[in-house]
Amino acid sequence: MSAATSTADLAGLSIAITGAAQGIGRSLALHFARAGARVAVADLRLQACEAVCAELRATGSQAIAIEADVTDAAACERLVAETTAAFGRLDLMVCNAGVVQVKPFMEVAAHDWDAVLSVNVKGGFLCMQAAARHMLQQAPLAPGRPRGKILAMASIAGRYGGGPMAPYLAPYRASKAAVISLTQSAAASLAPHITVNALCPGLVATDMWKRMDRDLATLNNGQEGEAFARRVEAVPMGRAQTPEDVAGLALFLASPAADYMTGQSINIDGGLVLN
């Protein structure tokens, strides 16, 4: 995608991003703002949201910080209401908030399962629903275009059942498979007025992976960095993924170039999963 496409076609777009205080969410906020979009930065940690907004405003972008617990339906509705009150409409909802836990399969407790699925699946569903309620009532982005778009953050972890991480990430992997399925259901339900697509990143170098790496080192009596390094060795593109890699795909999906795409879950993983 050319720089012209990302800036000219996204200028003035109104976007809400959950889990935007760090990692992939923060990178998405920065990239969308640079492309001219107005961004609602949403997360559980309001102070961290404000820090990201300060970065965006320093570049001349419009940004608001919103404290939001995606597992709470009322909070998701407030997120949409505050975004539309500030910007007039909601063109794109990015359901990015997510959590992960590293535990051997037989040690996963019911509350562990609930904690991961509640944020990753229920939270995504509630944000999709809240966004769609508003989008269905607003005018299209332009004549012949959708009324709005929704992006969900899935993962290649929801694609296949094997691999070296499978014994340690059962709730997470199940949640991301559910996000892929949820994306399809939402797309079928909301077409042709709203498009719904999912991004499936791979080995992204974020604080989340650092925590996972530490937990794996503890479980396996290894050294921090070993698990991550082994995974990087398996990436055909020869390096770990950056949040910026994910942002490029998100910008494309938000643009008019992707208006005819819906219900798709797209791998952006350096070739770890080929299909």
Q: How far apart are CA 122 and CA 7, in angstroms?
A: 33
pLDDT at 1: 40
The confidence score (pLDDT) of residue 3 equals 40
Q: What pLDDT, on a 0 to 100 scale, did the predictor assign at position 211?
A: 83
Active site residues per annotation: 168
> What are the extents of the domains in the chain?
3-202+242-268
> Residue 223's pLDDT is what?
82
Does the domain formed by 3-202+242-268 have CATH 3.40.50.720?
Answer: yes
The residues of the chain scoring below 70 in pLDDT are 1-8, 161-162
What local confidence, expressed as pLDDT, does residue 5 receive? 42
| pLDDT, tens digit (0-9, with 9 covering 90-100), for 60-107 | 999 999 999 999 999 999 999 999 999 999 999 999 999 999 999 999
Predicted confidence at residue 161, as pLDDT, reads: 67
